[in-house]
Amino acid sequence: MRVLAPLPVLVPLLGAALSLLLSRFPRAQRLISIAAIGGVLGVAVALLVLADASGAVAVPVGDWPVPQAIMLVVDRLSALMIAVASTVGLGVLLFAVGQGVADGPRSSPVSVFHPTFLVLMAGVGFAFLAGDLFNLYVGFEVLLTASYVLLTLGGSAPRIRGGITYIVVSLMSSLLFLAAIGLIYAATGTVNMAQLALRLGDLPDGTRLLLHGMLLVAFGIKAAIFPLSAWLPDSYPTAPAPVTAVFAGLLTKVGVYAIIRTQTLLFPGGALDTVLMWAALATMLVGILGAIAQTDLRRMLSFTLVSHIGYMIFGIALSTPAGLAGAVFYVVHHIVIQAALFLVAGLVERQGGSTTVARLGGLATASPVLAVLYLVPALNLAGIPPLSGFLGKLGLLQAGVAAGGALPLALVAAGVVTSLITLVAVSRVWSRAFWRPPQQAEHLETPADAAADSGPDVGDAADGTGTDGTATGGGDGPRGSSRSGLGTTRRGDRDAAWARQVALATGGEDAELPADPDSLDQRERMPRGLVGATAGLVAVSVALTFLAGPLYALTDRAAVDLLNRTPYVEAVYGDGGPASSAEDVP
């Protein structure tokens, strides 16, 4: 186990270096990435089994003596997080590979995608394993820097616009985190988390509250808790589908993980629990009300992402074993479900040429597989029994009721309301984009539409009719062809979809010219790689329902460990525990 612990960081980093060297060979890059992430998944599952069986293990890097060494700590929580992260990473990577294959080498993301993705996964793994605050900061920086590159991939205007917001906000949170580390070091003389757990309790209350607050604000920005969440819906939707999926699944959850550590290991006793509960309440309600106002599928999903972070913060703020177990279970569920939904949004964009719900229609006829792939995770997100979303929410609500008090009960009520509004938001998308006849899709005829924006409605018209795309496409053909040169693009994928649609439309206009059989084929049947990767993640999310019993038992044990704190500290200090101050651990 001591050998396995550094691998979730090492393997992706080495893979990134190798795939950077082989940037001229896309096939080799793909193989390296898949092998690296698959390897991490295997290691993570092994770590999880071992950590669950034999308890937490800490590895001092370079075998330095314990309080001075850089520690990698594997306990149930971190092993579970790495396992889920690498599962989602693998699914998203397969989607990205499928997309690259389907769109051909010209429009595929530049060769920098694979190395950057691997660095991102290494950063995520490092953040989960880091045993001291400064290395947590380094892990954050590694994954954030990789995410800057991924978010601005291709450098189109909307991505730059969204990327600048994201970069500046992330930098601010990192600086705040670094300043907090400096102050914590000044106050306690250590950044090792196990040692901090022993020493922070001795500080005066005011100092402790300040340090605690600074850490929570820094992590709250990363986790997108309500007053600090405005950056997320503006930046995430602009990125390519697989990038948005991995961001939505993983990056905010790394922030949640850091908050769990802060609340349990570093500052137990729940000094700021009330503040966190208010923040959770606001996050849930404001987020979901934002979601229901959106008409773009990706923006809607981004707002539900913010909203459901509130559930996890609620569970953490309860500071009870049941609450923490529910929060950890919800994190696992939400990572998978949100990544799957964003991948589905990518497929919708590919099939319909747009993610604007007003322009979509009849997708259930055009692609029943896509409809199923959307419906299952969407209902899961809303918490329909018996899916894992329901189980996670039920656990949190029960923990809230058990905790009693006005504020937890208000949060329980808000949780139910949020769940209902989530159902409204996702089923509105369902009934519009998938269920209504394509003829009812609203087509916009604004001057902007005429002047600059032609692709999507041509795409819709051709697409909405399902199999008979060429006939309707022919009707729109003249418009489409005359304006196709001016088409405005927001995203590369969409551009490719439009190009196909426009080609179809112009092909259909001239009856003698047969439409390009390849593009027809691509439009009607989505590439298997993309559907397979998405279906895999959806299957994992459904599997979480069947595995909920063992998983909940695991998160229960993890929560007891977290609140107990001794397993973590003893793992770092060795079996005997810290000789001098063992009595400090409650």
Task: Report the interface residues with other proteins, using CB under 8 A.
Answer: 134, 138, 141, 145, 148-149, 152, 155-158, 160-161, 163-165, 167-168, 171-172, 174-175, 178-179, 181-183, 185-186, 191, 233-234, 294-296, 354, 356, 358-359, 442, 444, 446-449, 451-453, 456, 488-490
In the complex with other proteins, which residue's Cβ is closer, 98 or 255?
Answer: 255
Give least dist CB 175 to other proteins, A: 5
In the complex with other proteins, which residue's Cβ is closer, 299 or 333?
Answer: 299
Per-position b or e across 159-186, b if 16+ CB within 10 A of its CB: beebbebbbebbeebbebbbebbeebee
Give least dist CB 261 to other proteins, A: 19
What does the alpha-carbon distance between residue 169 and residue 166 come to, in Å, rounded to a whole number?
A: 5
Give backbone dihedrals phi and psi of 61, rounded to 5 degrees, phi first. -70, 130
Give least dist CB 90 to other proteins, A: 27
In the complex with other proteins, which residue's Cβ is closer, 30 or 298?
Answer: 298
Per-position b or e across 414-436, b if 16+ CB within 10 A of its CB: bbeebbebbbebbeebbebbbeb
In the complex with other proteins, which residue's Cβ is closer, 37 or 211?
Answer: 211
Give least dist CB 516 to other proteins, A: 24
- The amino acid sitting at 304 is T
Neighbours of 191 (CB within 10 A): 18
Give least dist CB 290 to other proteins, A: 9
What does the alpha-carbon distance between residue 422 and residue 424 come to, in Å, rounded to a whole number?
A: 5
Of how many residues is the chain composed?
A: 586
In the complex with other proteins, which residue's Cβ is closer, 101 or 214?
Answer: 214
In the complex with other proteins, which residue's Cβ is closer, 232 or 533?
Answer: 232
What does the alpha-carbon distance between residue 539 and residue 244 come to, in Å, rounded to a whole number?
A: 20
In three-state secondary structure terms, 533 is helix
Give least dist CB 495 to other proteins, A: 9
Give least dist CB 349 to other proteins, A: 12
Helix (H) or strand (E) holding 73: strand 70-74
Q: Is the four-CA dihedral 26, 27, 30, 32 of positive or negative sign?
A: negative
Q: Which residues contact 331 (CB under 8 A, 6 or more apart)?
A: 81, 84, 253, 256, 257, 312
In the complex with other proteins, which residue's Cβ is closer, 16 or 554?
Answer: 16
Neighbours of 391 (CB within 10 A): 22
Give least dist CB 133 to other proteins, A: 10
In the complex with other proteins, which residue's Cβ is closer, 179 or 401?
Answer: 179
Q: For tokens 């605690």, what's the residue? A: 212
Structural contact between residues 454 and 480, judged by C-beta atoms closer than 8 angstroms: yes
In the complex with other proteins, which residue's Cβ is closer, 263 or 294?
Answer: 294
State the DSSP string of 225-272: -GGG-THHHHHGGGS-HHHHHHIIIIIHHHHHHHHHHIIIIISTT-TT
CA dist 527 → 47, 97, 100, 200, 538 (Å):
35, 11, 11, 54, 17
In the complex with other proteins, which residue's Cβ is closer, 486 or 543?
Answer: 486
Give least dist CB 187 to other proteins, A: 9
Q: Which residues contact 573 (CB under 8 A, 6 or more apart)?
A: 66, 194
In the complex with other proteins, which residue's Cβ is closer, 125 or 233?
Answer: 233
What does the alpha-carbon distance between residue 360 and residue 464 come to, in Å, rounded to a whole number?
A: 7
Q: State the burial class of residue 569 (Cβ atoms within 10 Å of its Cβ: 0-12, 13-18, 19+).
A: buried
In the complex with other proteins, which residue's Cβ is closer, 303 or 573?
Answer: 303
Give least dist CB 117 to other proteins, A: 17
Q: Is the four-CA dihedral 175, 123, 492, 461 of positive or negative sign?
A: negative
In the complex with other proteins, which residue's Cβ is closer, 35 or 451?
Answer: 451
Q: Is the four-CA dihedral 127, 128, 129, 134 of positive or negative sign?
A: positive
Give least dist CB 241 to other proteins, A: 17
Give least dist CB 483 to other proteins, A: 13
Alpha-helical regions (H) of 353-387: 363-366, 368-382
In the complex with other proteins, which residue's Cβ is closer, 365 or 488?
Answer: 488
DSSP 439: G
State the DSSP string of 536-580: HHHHHHHHHHHTHHHHHHHHHHHHHHHHH-HHHHHHHH-TT--TT
Give least dist CB 499 to other proteins, A: 13
Give least dist CB 153 to other proteins, A: 12
Strand partners, 287: none
In the complex with other proteins, which residue's Cβ is closer, 174 or 506?
Answer: 174
Give least dist CB 321 to other proteins, A: 35
